[in-house]
A and B are shown apart, each in its own frame.
With several copies, the nearest count.
Chain A
Amino acid sequence: MTATTGTTRRPRPGIDLHVLGPILALLVLVIVGASLNSNFLSAANITNVLSRSAFIGIIAVGMTFVITSGGLDLSVGSMAAFIAGLMILVMNGLLPTMGPGWPLVFVGMLTAIVAGTAAGFVNGFLITSMRIEAFIVTLGTMGIYRSLVTWLADGGTLSLDFGMRAVIRPIYFEGLLGISWPILVFALVAIVGEIVMRRAAFGRHAAAVGSNDQVARYSSVNVNRVRMLTYVFLGILVGVATIMYVPRLGSASSSTGVLWELEAIAAVIIGGTMLKGGFGRVWGTVIGVLILSLIDNILNLTDGVSPYLNGAIQGVIIVLAVILQRERKAEG
């Protein structure tokens, strides 16, 4: 990887200039947005953008650990769809017996977390114990969850019972002190993630495993356990993201969470984590997520560009955001 050409250029957390890369890109976007549309910085719009980012954001934090430890997970999008479907089915199923209300919501949440844990465990097991390329494993599970949800929904859409929707709705739309729950949860996950990455042994071990798993093994780090845990945590976070997602529209279908995996991975890399593993930073990922959802937002707030070209603009900005970063790196 070009990143390791023996020169002394490398990201040193918090120190060198390339840290500025993502932040700069974000700032540029904010400025552009503000100059294009006066409502861009309105509380409403900011709340919208942040709340929307929460799903990908929460997942991307987990993805940061997976990638840092040298792994990859393409299945998160379909996994989210599948878990959402499951959650809805369970809640609809228990509605007659339990009736609409918070107890049932908690059952739903539990379902999501348990399913997420299990899904993460399956990925982790196939990758660590069966020693299969993470890419293949998660490509496989991606297809599996996607078609399972299609099957559960009979090709259509699984919708949460209306009565229940009213109960669960606040989880996405309400909040604390004017900050909506998704934003709060995202913030919490990000902060905890950042601390774990920098201040807990697990973060170090993940980086060590990603940097050189043999060395980690010789240094009595339980490599398989670390790898497994990264996938399980990711699974749990997918569950959490789903808990935020279901209340929004109260439905899940085969088109739920399509391409979330690519967005999450892109966010992680834009944030400065190395795809080959060995170095990761959660705060960078958060910025990456914000960059991605700001692009969408800005494109919607501006006319002029043919909507057909949105994808192209997105692509260009993603690449630019990373160039910016690499350039800085070169100097640092």
Chain B
Amino acid sequence: AQDTRVIGVSIPAATHGWAGGMNFHAQEAIDRLEEVYPELDFVLATASDPGKQVNDIEDMVATRDIAALVVLPFESEPLTGPVKAVADSGTWVTVVDRGLAQEGIEDLYVAGDNTGFGRVSGEYMVSALPEGGKIVALRGIPTTIDNERVAGFEAAIEGSGIEIIDMEHGNWNRDDSFTVMQDFLSKHGEIDAVWASDDDMAIGVLAALEQSGRDDVQFVLGGAGMKEMIGRVRDGDTMIPADVTYPPAMIATAIELTAIGLTSTAPVSGTFTIGSVLITQENAEEYYYPDSPF
């Protein structure tokens, strides 16, 4: 019908754990909201690279005349121009997680805070290793996100006596992190803790540790809040004493807010930052979503 309005949702494809969770929450939110708002129609497109994401957005504009665009930029820089074009054409734009390279393009910004994520992780490290120590770190897929996280982390442990003795890319991938960790273990006789920086990578790391039977490693700090990991935090697993959230569900928040923005007069524009929270045994329960695949 003509009075139905279309919301376009453009997100990166599920190429690693976190993105997978994000994809799940996006779909789940869309299915739910289509029930709630019969006058709304949703288009979901997942892209494997920035170019493809721009294609998707172009298609949404050209063929689905979307009233609003919810976009989680694959990368900020390449998406800035195209999204700006959409915004300039008067379409409502919601940006999720990564900000665009230019201020003030979007109507609503549901921001993730990668630097914050790194900082919180770093601060926990410092608190967990008061008298300092040697740690190894696993990085994600080489991207701006990963750079920001690592920068935040390094800033936080600055001068705390904690030394990152080795750092490699585990690409947010269990197999890669397993391999990297195995080699770290052969390479370094003494490792106090591991910053896996992501729960998928944490799983690989744990497998490698378990196999090596080494007891010098005190704990592994992952991130993003995978239910399996939060479960272990809740159950007081000493290897996983904590986790740092970077909720993939932020996409659902963004879609829902956009829906509200389109359908009601309630003010939803502005910036809405979803900070990274430290999960410990105390607060683990409230972050545990049993039905999420992630």
Contacts and interface: CB of A to CB of B under 8 A. Distances in A.
A and B, direct touch (CB closer than 8 Å): yes
Contacts of B168: 300, 307
A64 interface: no
Interface in A17-53: 37, 39-40, 42, 44-45, 48, 52
Given A301-B63, A308-B23, 8 more contacts: A39-B64, A42-B62, A55-B51, A155-B146, A156-B294, A157-B77, A162-B102, A255-B173
Contacts of B246: none
B294 A300 contact: no
Among A155, A159, A296, max chain B CB count under 10 A is at A155
Given A157-B144, A297-B59, A300-B45, A255 B179 contact: no
A42 B179 CA distance: 16
A169 B207 CA distance: 10
What is the predominant secondary structure among interface residues of chain B facing chain A?
helix
> Interface extent on A, as a size class?
35 or more
Interface stretch (B13-21, B127-135, B260-268): B13-21
Contacts of A331: none
Interface stretch (B117-125, B182-190, B269-277, B279-287): B182-190
Contacts of A259: 48-49
B249 to A, nearest CB: 13
The 7 A-B pairs of least Cβ separation, nearest first, read: A155-B14, A156-B293, A249-B78, A300-B183, A155-B142, A155-B23, A251-B77
A154 B75 contact: no
Contacts of B23: 154-156, 307-308
B207 A249 contact: yes
B75 A251 contact: yes
A233 to B, nearest CB: 23
B50 A300 contact: no
Contact of A253 (B20, B27, B167, B178): B20
A255 B50 contact: yes
> Interface extent on B, as a size class?
35 or more
Interface in B49-67: 49-52, 54-56, 58-60, 62-65
Contacts of A165: 81
Contacts of A169: 81
B158 interface: no
A248 interface: yes
Contacts of A308: 14, 23, 46, 142
A162 B102 CA distance: 9
A296 B55 contact: yes
B54 to A, nearest CB: 7
Nearest to B34: A303
Interface string B24-57: 1001000000000000011111101111101110
Contacts of A306: 27
A37 B146 CA distance: 28
B182 to A, nearest CB: 5
Interface in A140-198: 150, 153-157, 159, 162, 165, 169, 173
B187 A155 contact: no
